[in-house]
């Protein structure tokens, strides 16, 4: 047990939290934008998975990690385009369209993988690239902080920097303001002359950028291959993080870090001989509990908030 306690307080543990939280933060930022624009994007999981797949395939065939990343982002945006087409043009149900996208991405990536490599499980035969890690000068030489903060994957830094960027985008720019207006009261926004469809399309596309990048992190950094359904519900965990963060970028970051820590903790505990299936379920259990607590708090605030 002493070993465990030591490993939990080690700089490597905190570094692992940053690493594991990265895809959740990225996707949660995308989900936040679409949610505030009034289109809860259940399809984030599918966008992420397509991103992970395209990143591996395009980097393997071009030999360029950058092309892979761009392909991953484009794949996410194509998912966003699909969502917008389904919801705005075909007038399909938002949630069902998201579920359809997820199922299509799950099966579609396996099909494409099989036609390219003959494998159904893993892209091991594809010689794909990974995105670089970044060693921050000065910081990397600091004793404990150096281990925690430096040497991460480039997308980890992008994820953390994207949080204030998204906060400023949503709260301080004209487009962010318009998206929030459209999300809260589309009829009123329309009467003001805003184009609800255009703004929601933009939100879907931005969500695709983030989800695609989150997927690229998984297959081009966290590991260096694509495996079937490798997102493992992270798109949904990001949705939960956004709800727990009450639609704010910083709150969503905090919730993503919490959910990431549980994941890391589960990995650490697996070394202690606890059943790994149980531990793998931990992040999802915590998500459910956190959402339940959040719901309770909301209900309570409603009743105590405004006593005469």
Partner 1 sequence: MQMTGDETAPQKALVEFREIGKTYPNGTVALRNVSFQVIEGDILAVCGENGAGKSTLMKILAGIEQPTQGTIHYEGRQKRIADPNVAGDMGIGMVHQHFSLIRSLSVAENLALGQEPRRGLLIDRRAAADRVRELAQKFSLDVDPETKVGSLSVAAQQKVEILKALSRNTRLLILDEPSAVLTPQETQELFEQLRSLRARGVTIIFISHKLHEVRALANRITVIRSGEVVEDGVLSEMSDAAISKLVMGVDVTRASRNQRDLSAATPVVVVKKATVATGDSDRRIDAIDLTIRAGEILGIAGVDGSGQEGVVDLLCGNVQPDEGDISLLGRPMALATTLDWRRAGMAHLPGDRFQIGGAPHMSLVDNVMAGSHRDKQFTRGPFLRVDAMVARTNELIKTFNVRCLGPREPLNSLSGGNAQKLVAAREFSSNPKFLIVNQPTRGIDVAAAAMIHGELLRLSQNGTAILLVTSDLDELLQLSDRVAVMFDGRIAVVLENDGLTPERLGPYMLGLEKAS
Under the rule (CB under 8 A), what is the footprint of partner 1? 168, 172-174, 177-178, 180-181, 184-185, 187-194, 302-303, 305-308
Q: How far is the CB of 246 from partner 1 (least distance, A)?
A: 12
Beta carbon nearer to partner 1, 185 or 298: 185
How far out from the chain centre does Cα 302 lie?
Answer: 30
Beta carbon nearer to partner 1, 103 or 246: 246
Q: How far is the CB of 186 from partner 1 (least distance, A)?
A: 10
**207, 63 contact by CB (below 8 A):** no
**213, 155 contact by CB (below 8 A):** yes
Q: How far is the CB of 204 from partner 1 (least distance, A)?
A: 21
Measure the CA dihedral 37/42/48/50, to 10°. -110
**39, 182 contact by CB (below 8 A):** no
Beta carbon nearer to partner 1, 180 or 234: 180
Compute the distance between CA of residue 201 and CA of residue 83 in angstroms, rounded to an integer: 8
- Mapping DSSP to helix (H, G, I), strand (E, B) and coil, where does residue 118 land? coil
Radius of gyration over alpha carbons of the chain, in Å? 20
Burial of 45 (0-12, 13-18, 19+ CB in 10 A): buried
Q: How far is the CB of 244 from partner 1 (least distance, A)?
A: 19
Closest CA to 24 of 194, 261, 187: 261
232: its two tokens: 């493992």
Beta carbon nearer to partner 1, 19 or 190: 190
Q: How far is the CB of 27 from partner 1 (least distance, A)?
A: 24
DSSP letter assigned to residue 131: P
Beta carbon nearer to partner 1, 34 or 156: 34
Q: How far is the CB of 1 from partner 1 (least distance, A)?
A: 47
Beta carbon nearer to partner 1, 187 or 277: 187
Residue 94: CB atoms within 10 A of its CB come to 18
């Amino acid at each position: 047990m002493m070993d465990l306690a030591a490993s939990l307080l080690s700089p490597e543990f905190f570094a692992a939290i940053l690493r594991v939280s990265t895809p959740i933060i990225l996707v949660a930022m995308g989900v936040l934008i679409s949610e505030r624009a009034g289109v809860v994007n259940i399809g984030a999981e599918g966008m992420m998975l397509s991103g992970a797949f395209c990143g591996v395939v395009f980097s393997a065939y071009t030999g360029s990690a950058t092309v892979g990343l761009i392909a991953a982002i484009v794949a996410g945006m194509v998912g966003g385009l699909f969502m917008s087409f389904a919801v705005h043009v075909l007038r399909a149900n938002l949630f069902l369209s998201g579920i359809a996208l997820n199922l299509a991405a799950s099966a579609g990536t396996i099909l494409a993988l099989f036609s390219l490599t003959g494998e159904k499980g893993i892209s091991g035969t594809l010689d794909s690239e990974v995105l670089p890690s970044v060693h921050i000068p000065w910081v990397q030489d600091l004793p404990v902080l150096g281990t925690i903060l430096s040497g991460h994957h480039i997308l980890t830094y992008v994820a953390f920097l994207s949080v204030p960027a998204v906060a400023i985008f949503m709260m301080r720019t004209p487009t962010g303001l318009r998206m929030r207006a459209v999300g809260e009261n589309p009829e009123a926004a329309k009467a003001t002359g805003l184009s609800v469809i255009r703004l929601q399309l933009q939100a879907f596309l931005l969500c695709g950028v983030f989800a695609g990048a989150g997927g690229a992190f998984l297959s081009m950094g966290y590991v260096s291959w694509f495996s079937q359904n490798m997102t493992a519900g992270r798109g949904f965990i990001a949705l939960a993080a956004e709800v727990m963060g009450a639609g704010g970028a910083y709150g969503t970051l905090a919730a993503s870090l919490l959910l990431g820590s549980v994941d890391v903790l589960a990995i650490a505990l697996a070394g202690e001989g606890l059943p790994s299936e149980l531990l793998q379920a931990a992040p999802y259990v915590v998500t459910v509990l956190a959402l339940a607590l959040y719901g309770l708090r909301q209900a309570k605030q409603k009743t105590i908030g405004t006593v005469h």
